[in-house]
Structure 1
Amino acid sequence: MTSRIQQLRSALIWLALIIPSAMLIGSICAGFLMSLHYVTDARFASPWFIYLLPLGGLLVGLLYHHFGGKSDEGNNLIMDQIHAPGGGVPTRMAPLVFLGTIITHLFGGSAGREGTAVQIGGSIASTLCRRLRLDPDSVKVLLMCGIAAGFGAVFGTPIAGAIFALEVLMIGRIRYESLLPCLIAAITADWTCRLWGAHHTHYAISYLTSIDPPSAFFHLELGIFLKVILAAILFGLAGTLFAKLTHGIGHVFKSTIKYPPLRPFIGGFIVIGLFHLVGTPDYLGLGVWSNNPDAVTISSLLSSPEIHHWSWFWKLLFTAITLGAGFKGGEVTPLFFIGAALGNVLAWVLNAPPSLFAAIGFVAIFAGATNTPIACTIMGIELFGATHGIYLAIACLIAYYASGHSGIYMSQRIAIPKFNDQDLAPEITLKELHSKKNKRNK
């Protein structure tokens, strides 16, 4: 009886920690989403804002150079603190990344929003841990809850948010003991965000929308299934390309431009040059919506049969330069665009349903770039329904393997290698692995 009372007491204490912090994270994410919508509309109304992108980059660079400290490490810092709690995540990370992302989007930088939400969640959770002087194990759990809350709130996918927080830390292993706290945090943050009136984009695909139950719960066609397998390999390789190009551009900027604030300043001019090269603003900003009904957006790629052969490449290049130069924001929403656009082209090549393959690419490239196939499968089902669950699952898993030991988060640790590799040290990070390979190649 005493043990039951202790368990109940422990559960109540955790709820008292998780729910208020998740509500705060959800509230800030609501403000962030509303602000993002406002500045994007402002950029649509004033297209000349793009020419202020270098100055916006300089401002972001100066803010982080003088006030950022460890905050510039972003999501990787949060992961490092979960693996080995130490100094914690700075409280200033939340306002800095909020402001930095808003500036990036106001002037047309190609970036996302997930990184911002996750860093807000991690910063608030870490601050709470320091104030309450929690033990290292509790710190790990609360930081994971912060990731889940931020991710779930910003995308409106709380189940995927909870799984993502657990799966993203270790390639090949999930800590199930933290699943319930993360799920509670993600649901609470998502509800709070919605209560504030923040709206999430409704994604819909036209393929089999009129199918009647019970077939609506599962759909499997052998020909399409085989085409999905082939496409998934390419989605995984595209995720690898995005990760390596973004890191590579970042390395070039850091090695050639020693004064950090100048990196996004110069990067802004390169983005402007690309904008004039392609002759369209479609690859600026989030890419979720546009004031131009003929623009290429994530929504149009999911709903229109029109083929856009090189949109995936241009969005990939715009985003890799934006983030590699030091602008702030996430990688995930641009990955959604890249995956949907690549799926759109592959559907044309393989004679497959364009909207279905755009939806599959939407989540599969995300799975390959972040090494989170389970979270991405669940996200696909949360966004597009269970009808295409088999296609989504197989695509995410194959993309995960096809991407190899690469990813956008260099602090991810390899718990179980994707392939037999006797040279891998136990729980080596992607950063350490790539450094080891570079030394070997030299």
Structure 2
Amino acid sequence: MIPRWSTSSSGQPARRNYGLRHGKPEVGPLALTAPRGRALGLLVVVTVCSAYGAAGAVYGVEHLLDAIARGPAALTVALPAAGLLVSTVVRSLGPTRSGPSSIDAYMDAYHGRHYEDRQYAARTVGAGATVGLGGALDPVGLAVLLGTWFGSIGRRRLDSTGPSLLVVGAAAGFGAALHSPIAGGLLAVEIPFREGMSWRRLPVALLGSTAGYLARSSIDGFRLPWWTSVGVVGLRDVLLALGLAVGAGIASRAVSLLTRSAETGLGPVFSRERHHVVTAAALLVLLGVLARIGFSGIPVHLGPGTISLTWAATASSAGLCALLALRAAASGVTMLGRGVGGLIIPLLVLGSIAGQMLGRIFDGNLALLSVIGATTLLGAGYRVPLAALVWLAESTHSIPAVALGCVVVLITQAVGGGRSVSTAQRIHPVPPGRPSTPS
């Protein structure tokens, strides 16, 4: 490898070589393979297709969820279970069975695993069925899956194994689904690893996430759906935030155990996928009935949980505790039922509800504790502290909140003990050409 500031044999400054991929060097900060003109053209095509594909898919899923929530009570109870069944049937079709992962599929592809187009197609339809019919996961997984699929197509056209096109596609999905142009890009380069991130792919990630945000805004309007005015930060709020950090770290350990159980099976009785799916479908129907009875007829169990935040705004501390338990159960059951979707928005919602609950009980700053709870659980769940802090900054525009967020995220990472909700992450980035350490 030629050092960055060395010169070639002709005396001219040498270009930095970032490693060989099938005999083609990845050069420059964009880490794209030669020929550069074709690579840049494919970069633009993948970015635009991923951005508008993800934005359109998320927009459609969210409007479908709104229509279901306003529909008859029987539909809100039955459709989440039906979504699990449809997803399982679709993924079982074809000669190669497709697993239920969505964001994990991006991580696998980033680390070198190959998926066929029919596997991407099956997972995409499965994610649309799971989330679009009310499963308690989020459309972020669907958006990232679409972006990864477009990136893999572009990578095959370029005859390269470098992950840059995958990164720009996934980042477009994050930016479109989260309405987040900066945190979405950081997620794309930070989420494949439990410790550290691939800094040299940050430019293409920010390009993709910004394109995804602009595409979503062109469809749905320019807005920041998570924006919160936190007001004054007091000493009581700081102490409550520290308690939230410890709780989020412990919760991340529990969610990590749950995701691994969903992948490996719950022992000899529930070792087959059909056992998971049938049991989860029955439990989702039960949770739907409980939600309709106990939460003023509002289907708080539906989707990633944004519907439940409206009910939580005026709920008592006991009501928030019940809502937290129901939302955690709904997301956990959907995961155990091998539903296809992401956990990013469910983690944000659970953290927000937990923060509001503490604020109600101890008379704290509800707005501040809500976003701090969401930040800590996101950072601990996927081991993405930097992306979580940037999301906090985008959501609050408050320096005191971000300063407090730095402290609580560090505490959460320490308490979490390296656990993650994803089984596809690697421990840390390594120099190109060397195998990555498995998780």
Classify the TM-score, shorter chain. Answer: 0.7 to 0.9
Q: Is contact 1:57–1:261 with CA below 8 Å preserved after alignment?
A: no
Partner residue, 2:306: 288
Q: Is contact 1:21–1:125 with CA below 8 Å preserved after alignment?
A: yes
Structure 1 length as normaliser, TM-score?
0.80
Summarize the Cα distance change of 1:299–1:19 in structure 2 as closer, same or farther, 3 Å threshold: farther
Following the alignment from structure 1 to structure 2, what is the Cα–Cα distance between the partners of residues 100 and 394?
Answer: 39
The reply on whether 1:20 has 2:45 as its aligned counterpart is yes
Q: Is contact 1:109–1:327 with CA below 8 Å preserved after alignment?
A: yes
Partner residue, 1:343: 355
State the Cα distance separating 1:255 from its structure 2 match. Answer: 4.9
One-letter identity of the residue aligned with 1:404: G
Partner residue, 1:413: 426
Structure 2 length as normaliser, TM-score?
0.81
State the Cα distance separating 1:142 from its structure 2 match. Answer: 1.8
Following the alignment from structure 1 to structure 2, what is the Cα–Cα distance between the partners of residues 161 and 229?
Answer: 26
Following the alignment from structure 1 to structure 2, what is the Cα–Cα distance between the partners of residues 62 and 7?
Answer: 44
Partner residue, 2:56: 31
Aligned partner (choices 255, 266, 272) of residue 285 of structure 2:
272
Following the alignment from structure 2 to structure 1, what is the Cα–Cα distance between the partners of residues 205 and 55?
Answer: 19
State the Cα distance separating 1:180 from its structure 2 match. Answer: 0.8
Identity of aligned residues (%): 20
2:116 match: secondary structure: coil
Partner residue, 2:260: 247
Deviations 1:261-290 (A, max 9, x none): 56324311111123334534212222213x
Residues 348-427 of structure 1 aligned to structure 2 (within 5 Å)? 348-387=360-399, 388-415=401-428
State the Cα distance separating 1:77 from its structure 2 match. Answer: 3.4
Q: Is contact 2:98–2:122 with CA below 8 Å preserved after alignment?
A: no
One-letter identity of the residue aligned with 1:378: V
Aligned partner (choices 312, 328, 332) of residue 320 of structure 1:
332
Summarize the Cα distance change of 1:100–1:18 in structure 2 as closer, same or farther, 3 Å threshold: same
Aligned partner (choices 64, 86, 104) of residue 91 of structure 2:
64
Summarize the Cα distance change of 1:353–1:332 in structure 2 as closer, same or farther, 3 Å threshold: same
Residues 69-84 of structure 1 aligned to structure 2 (within 5 Å)? 69-70=97-98, 72-83=100-111
One-letter identity of the residue aligned with 2:130: T
Partner residue, 2:220: 197
State the Cα distance separating 1:82 from its structure 2 match. Answer: 1.9
State the Cα distance separating 1:75 from its structure 2 match. Answer: 2.9
Partner residue, 1:429: 438
Q: Is contact 1:118–1:151 with CA below 8 Å preserved after alignment?
A: yes
Residues 218-257 of structure 1 aligned to structure 2 (within 5 Å)? 221-252=234-265, 255-257=268-270
Following the alignment from structure 1 to structure 2, what is the Cα–Cα distance between the partners of residues 266 and 54?
Answer: 10
Q: Is contact 1:93–1:119 with CA below 8 Å preserved after alignment?
A: no
Choose between structure 1 and 2: higher helix proportion.
1
Following the alignment from structure 1 to structure 2, what is the Cα–Cα distance between the partners of residues 11 and 159?
Answer: 26
Summarize the Cα distance change of 1:165–1:254 in structure 2 as closer, same or farther, 3 Å threshold: farther
One-letter identity of the residue aligned with 1:286: P
Summarize the Cα distance change of 1:161–1:52 in structure 2 as closer, same or farther, 3 Å threshold: closer
Following the alignment from structure 1 to structure 2, what is the Cα–Cα distance between the partners of residues 398 and 14?
Answer: 42
The reply on whether 1:112 has 2:130 as its aligned counterpart is no
Instruction: Give the root-mean-square deviation of aligned CA atoms.
Output: 2.9
State the Cα distance separating 1:12 from its structure 2 match. Answer: 5.7
Partner residue, 1:214: none
Q: Is contact 2:248–2:376 with CA below 8 Å preserved after alignment?
A: yes
Partner residue, 2:5: none
How many residues are aligned here?
397
Residues 146-225 of structure 1 aligned to structure 2 (within 5 Å)? 146-197=169-220, 202-208=225-231, 221-225=234-238
Unaligned runs of 5+ in 2: 1-11, 16-26, 430-434
Unaligned runs of 5+ in 1: 209-218, 290-296, 417-425, 431-442
The reply on whether 1:309 has 2:321 as its aligned counterpart is yes
Residues 43-58 of structure 1 aligned to structure 2 (within 5 Å)? 43-44=68-69, 45-49=71-75, 50-58=77-85
One-letter identity of the residue aligned with 1:193: R
Following the alignment from structure 1 to structure 2, what is the Cα–Cα distance between the partners of residues 99 and 174?
Answer: 30
Following the alignment from structure 1 to structure 2, what is the Cα–Cα distance between the partners of residues 104 and 341?
Answer: 23
Following the alignment from structure 1 to structure 2, what is the Cα–Cα distance between the partners of residues 11 and 235?
Answer: 45
One-letter identity of the residue aligned with 2:106: I
2:226 match: secondary structure: coil
One-letter identity of the residue aligned with 2:173: G
